Amino acid sequence: MTTWGTARGRGKAIGDGVTWTARWSLRLLLVSAGAVLLWLLIAALWSVVLPVLLAVILATVLWPPTAWLRRHRFPPALAAATVLLAGIVVLAGLVALIGTSVAGSIGQITESATSGIQAIRDWLAGPPLNLAESQFDAYVQQATEQLQRSVSTIATSVVTGAGSVASGVVTALLTLVLAFLFVKDGPRFLPWVRTVAGAGAGGHIAEVLRRIWKTLGDFIRTQAIVALADSVLIGAGLLILGVPLAIPLAVLTFLGGFVPIVGAIVAGALGVLVALVSNGFTTALIVLALIVAVQQIEGNVLQPMLQSRSLGLHSAVVLLAVTGGSTLYGIAGAFLAVPAAAGAAVIVRYLGERLDERTGVAGTALASSPDPGPATYTEGPEPPEDAVAVPEEPDPEVDGARK
């Protein structure tokens, strides 16, 4: 048995280790710089990137029925247009359902809200606060004056909000057009990538994109199942308790389910608020307990069971992704955070598979070699060029024991 040695001693070995570390540090710095530049480019082109991402996700929903129509000899453009128009009709029906329910319940909610405000005033007038009617009116007058002083700020906010609404409408229209094009011409994309990038790189890119597409489809289907379960359970509970707007709240719960964690919390808070204003404190507590119970079932049973199969992401990764996405890009960021994290996980897994293949082939070659050599380096710097094989010193005690 022999070991690697070097005539220059430990100093040369330390120098080789430092050189290896510096080389990899420089590579990591270059990769990080490239990632930062890509991030800045995405931020600068966010008005273009956002519709593209939303259109890709929407296309994963529209593609299965479109593929079914194409198998039944529908032309690609006609199949895509039919499915897209059907989706728009369904969404418009949901909006009409919510609007009709809200309009029909406005009188009941207004009456309940008036009674609730009067109950609050009576409570403030009683012990322990004992606020007189004049004091309460003074606070209301003070709040009114403050509101009047803030008219300019409110007007500016309204103008900004109108601009955001207009930008949202443009983004929605662009998303629909891109989704139609993606669904119509999607099957041509991967062959085009292979043609442009070549057989080697094009094959890898096409495989990664195919896996990301499948992951996005699994994400949408998983979230739809979870959101449907939430909306059915919560909507049934609201109907049993006699809470107004039960059906619109159930629909909002379903739509909010596509934004993991955050959407469920917002929809649940609206349900508790409506129950508090309309039915009183006791009903609001029951609704809160119902929503918490449903969310526990979702978070501890449905999502781990379904997402572990479809996405392979830990709950902590999902929570951090949603938090970071909402912090950077608001509601759109919260919605896109989990698909983006799942896509990044797909890329990392694919790279890991390719590395495993290479190391597996290398390991098989070493194992089949008749003489693998005096030493094997699994990681770290290469053996120095002036390294020599030095035989081990014999151990007298071991030799004596053998004799």
One-letter identity of residue 336: L
- How large a percentage of the chain has pLDDT more than 90? 7
117 Rama sector, left if φ>0, alpha if ψ -120 to 50, beta otherwise: alpha
Q: What is the pLDDT of residue 295?
A: 80
Q: What is the pLDDT of residue 20?
A: 92
Task: Report the 3 state secondary structure along the chain.
Answer: CEEEEECCCHHHHHHHHHHHHHHHHHHHHHHHHHHHHHHHHHHHCHHHHHHHHHHHHHHHHHHHHHHHHHHCCCCHHHHHHHHHHHHHHHHHHHHHHHHHHHHHHHHHHHHHHHHHHHHHHHHHHCCCCCCCHHHHHHHHHHHHHHHHHCHHHHHHHHHHHHHHHHHHHHHHHHHHHHHHHHHHHHHHHHHHHHHHHCHHHHHHHHHHHHHHHHHHHHHHHHHHHHHHHHHHHHHHHHHHHCCCCHHHHHHHHHHHCCCCCHHHHHHHHHHHHHHHHHHCHHHHHHHHHHHHHHHHHHHHHHHHHHHHHHCCCCHHHHHHHHHHHHHHHHHHHHHHHHHHHHHHHHHHHHHHHHHHHHHHHHHHHHHHCCCCCCCCCCCCCCCCCCEEEEECCCCHHHHHHHC
Q: Which residues contact 279 (CB under 8 A, 6 or more apart)?
A: 112, 241, 242, 243
Q: What is the pLDDT of residue 28?
A: 93
Q: What is the pLDDT of residue 317?
A: 79
369-379 mean pLDDT: 42
50-70 mean pLDDT: 88
Is the per-residue pLDDT at 143 higher than 70?
no
User: Where is pLDDT greater, at 197 or 300?
Assistant: 197
Q: What is the pLDDT of residue 365?
A: 45
What confidence tier does 118 reach under pLDDT thresholds 50, 70, 90? low
Q: Which of 112-121, 289-298, 384-393 is the least confident region?
A: 384-393
Q: What is the pLDDT of residue 142?
A: 72
117-140 mean pLDDT: 65
pLDDT tens column, 188-229: 887 888 888 777 788 888 888 888 888 888 888 888 888 888
Is the per-residue pLDDT at 383 higher than 50?
no
Q: What is the pLDDT of residue 34?
A: 93
Q: What is the pLDDT of residue 37?
A: 94
281-299 mean pLDDT: 84
pLDDT tens column, 162-190: 556 677 778 888 888 998 988 888 888 87
Chain position carrying tokens 């080789």: 16
Q: What is the pLDDT of residue 269?
A: 81
Q: What is the pLDDT of residue 255?
A: 79
